[in-house]
A and B are shown apart, each in its own frame.
Chain A
């Protein structure tokens, strides 16, 4: 598990080797060793202190071992302590000399003073020399029976230490059984906690060898034992409580009443002064309610306040650890934290890693009611001294805009960013405006007016430049000097990054079809430069365009410049599966690293760097395949999100999906392309002539998207009305799982007809009505006037489901809906359908 400990210890080069001093000390120690003169203890103490201070600063004083042991025959407890410290440090590398210490340590283990007994026993068990274990068993055995709790506490830990030196000795001496007896019967809470710690460790590593140990290990999370610990929980100190709570989180109660009993019992732990106890308690709550969707949500509400308090109190180190956990919960259930958005406002002197987490949370919790304030706040960060945070904030504004709340106000803000005349602000804003336009083409007029004023000379970052060029190509007819700007950009062909050159090619093509006479010259230069380009993708694309134009200009136009369809959903980068894995490891390092522990703690204990390198490569691979990294809003974040190999596939899919940015999907009407076979031929010939690396093939795939018949049919401007499967089926387990995984797509209030409200006397009545509308109920409850329902429905033609939480108050005739959908794009249609079904209730 752990790498072998390095036995050699190097003194730091900056420090003296201390050779002379060490031999000096040796002489002095020898003189004192036999002396019984008064005051000799004081001189010894001074010497010991010197030795240990050398040891502390890293000078090797192990050669004094013999002298130190000789001097240690003394009743003085401070001398003893120093000697124990010294011996503990060097025994392992001097096993022969360690034998010398056994004698006096064993004698001290029988001392009158329990403190000395304890300390001696601790030192004895910390020698960790394999061939001395025989001397340890006796003192440990009597230590475990000592009438002083302090000695027992030490002895219990000694037993684990013994186990790690020689497992068989520990097992043969039957220490586990003794520990188990102590754990269940000792009156001292610290002894009990230490026993628990010791037994967990022993049985855990023993369980791979013996079935009995496996049984014992499982016995630790059995009902009687868990209840025993819970009943004594308040006696334990805070660390003991953490240990017990960790164990309770693994316990699976037999019924829900037990769940509630445990939670009621533990509720006050949420108010403990120690944050570690609070987090451990929260973990128990979350684990206990995993299978109870609604209670799980209530738990979130309950733990919100303690978590927020923990974040704002304590040292920055503590708040960071809590904040990482809060971040996890916010990302899972943003709507619960929507009203607490002010807690995620960044303070001026917070470290940037804290600000980054906060920005992500602010983005996540934005909804209709708080968007305006959140965006106002984020805009203030754009003028922040900390440039990376300023960038992040602008990106956050963009992400919120893409969540489609209050877009109007946000567009204004983004355009203000463009006028701030700071290069990085402009760069980030350009990328966002581009994404916005892809989703909301209706804003093009306002945006283009501002973008047109930006001089391309002031934009240096490839991503931003690519975005600007895309807009120039896309809106060439609205920007008077688009062809000329593009032309000037072509002149500096060599200076730009490959991704910029790719965009330039496409933009000039688009511009050419709209304003041929003005662009022809630039197009010629660009194609020539492109074909001569060293970069494979650029070369291929230029060649492709060239041949396409050669073949038929109007077909080329349909390929390069088809009617566009707005992007509805940008893909998420971190899969739900990974998020769930991290969630299961709540209150662990996984949360801080934002990756499940199997990704960073594996058996061989591979260095995390090695690992992150690998991930880094993978991510880079994805990005270059991506061809236009800015396509997805999250693309620049992929570097910190770790993707497993299986996910790589998903990412590919996403990439393909997002690539309509350069070559948009064909509208189904323009699909019947007469020359299609020919174009495909051209492409296959391209494929045949050059040996496309994965990147090149991706680039071609990208273009193929425009032609490929297998591309998913784009929802046309008038989408077919939503049809539901009348016999949809979903079991409670998958409902709960889906409910947990999916974000709320729509949350709104609607009205019931007065007849409907009157007819709703029992939950059953509505169920039958909704069933008639192909909407099934999975759970219901409450009594007049408050009812709560969970519905689900399934699309007729595919297995995609919709989940609805519906709270109805019959006295106000209002219903509160929370709709989740696997296919977000149809959630509004479904919502309308659901509401109309609901409003018809009681009418017939």
Chain B
């Protein structure tokens, strides 16, 4: 009889490893595919033009693949409907779309798809960080930098360094300072003179000699609330996805410890590589040596929340070829701080031929694609904002069969709606003149009310 073993995952015993030992030959498990590699990366503009092409291996990928890709895209309507991983007649294509720019990667071998997608996302992030935004012009103006970056981020189709701090030391960003410098000194080289020390440092995300006159560290809790309120006005699902963003400018190699008042509210967490795992496991303390500058320390999820800040009450009645609609918005659970940037957006059903909508507060816009946006901003003290009006249906239709979903946007500054609170941030060695700042912000994410 086989004996059952319970899975001792959370046990504290750590694996002991022997560096010497008998060589075990595994014969059956043939390695079938090893080349985890991308062959080529294309950057396409929002009109499908190839802005940049970076061949990564000896097997060149012809540009015509982009034409094929773009035709596919057009035949599917828009990029939104196209899957991120598709197969062309010759290659497998991964695509990531950011600000209208398509990052397209090609491969011919089986590989982890998420690896390719994560990599493309990272390329997009790094470029957007370097060029201070992404658009066609900025890429075309700085294509040399883009090439340089891609060169350091991937060699022979295998990802190398994607850590922004290290890249910044190898290739200087084209920011205003360096532009001014180049005017003054006549030296417009955007390559730093030295090689990054971090590539060989034991903390790969940080160089060793950083000096600041004023030491500062800012910790931001940034949360997005997703909620679904169903047709009967019942809260079906509500969860918060949050990030702890840190902006650190501290001399030397600081060792930080961040703790929360109520870490138990967190359902699942993901960490920047700098976070040490054991202190979190044992005491829920985030212990880390931060990269220099802005980075995402942790992301987390809080499920099964019961209180939502806003209610939206839509009512639609149909009669004889037209529908009356009224949408009321108000505060459901007061978060304690002002809610601003409130907006309600919904797609009018395609059978609506014309609308007459007015609001007692805020501005109503109906776009040509039948999207209706009602910007409320703050809820006035004296009355609840109300949108009302009629929807005229197309000829022959008596009543509405398809009902819109209302997407609600909002912002609350000063509160993390998940309830998560920072307790304290400690430094092992306290430098002179340290400023610590904490902030919190919650935004509406996929906050939707069905009707």
Contacts and interface: CB of A to CB of B under 8 A. Distances in A.
A222 B23 contact: yes
A223 B14 contact: no
A312 B4 contact: no
A796 interface: no
B271 A204 contact: no
A480 interface: no
B180 interface: no
Nearest to B118: A276
Contacts of A781: 3-5
B277 interface: yes
A782 B110 contact: no
A374 to B, nearest CB: 11
A204 B156 contact: no
A85 interface: yes
Interface stretch (A98-106, A131-139, A297-305): A297-305
Interface stretch (B129-137, B186-194, B322-330): B186-194
Interface of B: 1-9, 11, 13-27, 29, 31, 33-36, 49-53, 55, 57-64, 80-81, 83-85, 87-90, 92, 94-97, 108-115, 117-121, 140, 143-144, 147-148, 151, 155-156, 158-163, 170, 186, 188-191, 195, 199-200, 202, 204, 226, 228, 230-231, 236-237, 239, 241, 267-273, 277, 281, 296, 299-301, 347, 349-350, 401-405, 407, 446, 448, 450
Contact of A81 (B115, B148, B158): B148
A278 B347 CA distance: 37
A177 interface: no
B80 A351 contact: yes
Given A12-B50, A85-B147, 18 more contacts: A6-B62, A56-B53, A81-B191, A164-B57, A190-B161, A200-B35, A224-B18, A224-B19, A237-B204, A256-B5, A260-B7, A263-B7, A264-B8, A273-B272, A317-B84, A347-B448, A383-B402, A592-B83
A57 to B, nearest CB: 7
Interface string A3-42: 1011101101010000000000000000000000000001
Interface stretch (A446-454, A564-572, A605-613): A605-613
Given A56-B53, A342-B236, A597-B110, A348 B2 contact: no
A274 interface: yes
Nearest to A38: B186
A260 B8 contact: yes
Interface string A590-612: 11110001001100010111100
A272 B96 CA distance: 21
Contact of A279 (B24, B114, B163, B402): B114
B111 A160 contact: no
A223 B21 contact: yes
A231 B17 contact: yes
Interface in A174-201: 187-190, 194, 197, 200-201
Contact of B51 (A56, A218, A377, A601): A56
A440 interface: no
A188 B113 contact: no
A170 B13 CA distance: 45
B4 A294 contact: yes
Nearest to B196: A150
Interface stretch (A243-251, A540-548, A639-647, A690-698): A243-251
B401 A422 contact: yes
B19 A227 contact: yes
A681 interface: no
B9 A306 contact: no
A219 B27 CA distance: 10
Contact of A150 (B112, B148, B199, B202): B199
B17 A312 contact: no
Interface stretch (A459-467, A581-589, A620-628): A581-589
Contacts of A302: 7, 9
A421 to B, nearest CB: 7
Nearest to B272: A273
23 contacts: A6-B62, A9-B62, A58-B63, A77-B191, A115-B195, A149-B200, A157-B156, A204-B33, A204-B34, A204-B35, A218-B26, A219-B23, A221-B31, A271-B271, A273-B296, A298-B6, A317-B117, A347-B448, A383-B402, A597-B110, A600-B87, A779-B4, A780-B4
A600 B231 CA distance: 43
A353 B82 CA distance: 8
A306 B85 contact: no
A553 interface: no
A479 interface: no
B335 to A, nearest CB: 22
A538 interface: no
A186 to B, nearest CB: 10
Residue among A1, A57, A76, A600 with most chain B CB within 10 A: A57
B158 A197 contact: yes
A581 B80 CA distance: 30
Contacts of B277: 268, 271
Contact of A275 (B4, B24, B118, B405): B118
Interface in A305-334: 305-306, 308-310, 312-318, 320-322, 324-325
B17 A52 contact: no
A421 B111 contact: no
B110 A275 contact: no
A420 B399 CA distance: 11
Q: Which 7 A-B pairs have the closest CB atoms?
A: A781-B4, A261-B15, A268-B277, A200-B34, A239-B159, A317-B84, A607-B89
